[in-house]
Structure 1
């Protein structure tokens, strides 16, 4: 059975950075940034985050990943959005890990990117929504921590 770890959290929390670090730490398996699978714009009004496109692309790639651990990073706001993807990974043992950070640090990380500063409030709202929904298998706090340290904790908690 292929194990899949999905890193989720609001934009700016560090999903991609930590996902890549974790992939390098494992030194085996594959890493996919779901956002890269859905860079198709303009998006449809009924799917503004392109979840249907991204989940379809991940499903098409799935046979190539079977047999070794797969790390995926990407924003999921609801259990329903998660199912769009997990339903396309038959036979996978899927673990959802939410990355969490306080508002001040999330704001600083997001603005530190230097692009789309007008979306920072949406990232903060998304963080609050994820806190309320709390559908991940486990959560890792990232406040004041280096990506390598976060990846090491996740590695300890995830049975890859």
Structure 2
């Protein structure tokens, strides 16, 4: 059975960075960032986050990951959205890890990117909604922590 670690959280929380670092510690593993799978524009009005495209692409790639750990970074906002993806991963043992950061640090990280700065309030609202929804197998706080430290914590809670 293929084990899958899915890192999710708001934009700017560190999903891609932490996911890549966890992947680099594994033998014979794979890494996928769903943002890369969904670079198809314009989005459909009924699927503004391109989850249909991303989940289809992940499903198409799935047979290539057989018997190797897979690390995925990508936004999930509800258990229904998570199921949209995990239903395309037959036989997978999926662990959902939510990354969280306090609002002030999230604002600083997001604005520090220097692009899409007008969307910072949407990102903060997404973080608040994830706090209310509180789904996933475990949550790791990233406040004031180096990415390598967060990655080690995530890995330890996932497979060590």
1:102 is aligned to 2:102: yes
CA distance in 2, matches of 1:73, 1:113: 18
Partner of 2:40: 40
Partner of 1:159: 159
CA distance in 1, matches of 2:59, 2:13: 25
Partner of 1:78: 78
Q: What pairs with 1:72-151 in structure 2 (closer than 5 Å)?
A: 72-151=72-151
Q: Following TM superposition, by how much is the alpha carbon of 1:33 offset from its aligned partner in structure 2, in angstroms?
A: 0.2
* Structural RMSD (CA): 0.8
Q: What pairs with 1:13-92 in structure 2 (closer than 5 Å)?
A: 13-92=13-92
Normalised by the size of structure 2, how large is the TM-score? 0.98
Unaligned stretches of 5+ residues in structure 1: none
Q: CA deviation digits over 1:83-124, x for unaligned, max 9?
A: 110000000000000000000000000011110000111110
Q: Following TM superposition, by how much is the alpha carbon of 1:27 offset from its aligned partner in structure 2, in angstroms?
A: 4.0
CA distance in 1, matches of 2:79, 2:73: 15
Q: Following TM superposition, by how much is the alpha carbon of 1:159 offset from its aligned partner in structure 2, in angstroms?
A: 2.0
Count of aligned pairs: 160
CA distance in 2, matches of 1:100, 1:86: 21
Normalised by the size of structure 1, how large is the TM-score? 0.98
